[in-house]
Amino acid sequence: MSTALPAQRLPSVRVREWPERLAALFAARAGTPFTWGQHDCCLFAADAVLAVTGHDLAADLRGTYSTAAEAARVLAQLGGVVGIAIARAGKVVPAALAQPGDVGLSHHDPERPSLAVWGGAAWHAAAAVGVVALQPDAVVRAWRCTATPEEVPRA
């Protein structure tokens, strides 16, 4: 399993109709129960980046875990949720400057940091059932869902 997907592999542009795609993801997950390997914080964040950019940050992780213990093993191998975001998402930005689709580090559950997604008006995170909107100060760090032009390899 790959442990790093460099930020330069992120596309620098968003897909056409990304606002509708991101809104559709939030709506589709509204009643979805939290399920390791399907609807958890990492895959919710990756699915949001996929909706916005067409790039799957978690392609190699899908189907590799389905329990809390298996998720903990994968997270430990990848440096936790922070390690995953650092290795796979884009440039670090202040949470207050996040753009829709950007990934953030939340401490809304003090026992377990998690990833959230900026929706434009609030941060959203996978919850026991569905998606919960977080207070803006619940997210302490953010990463772009797109690469800067300087990070995109030239052909």
Domains, the chain, with CATH or none: 16-147 (3.90.1720.10)
Model-level pTM? 0.88
Residue 9 banded pLDDT, cuts 50, 70, 90: low
Residues near 9 by beta carbon (within 8 Å), at least 6 away in sequence: 55, 147
Half-sphere exposure in the Cβ direction for 24 (13 Å, CA): 10
Burial of residue 37 (CB within 10 Å: 0-12, 13-18, 19+) is: middle
Q: What is the pLDDT of residues 127-155, one digit of tens each?
A: 999 999 998 889 999 999 998 655 554 44
CB 146 within 8 A of CB 8: no
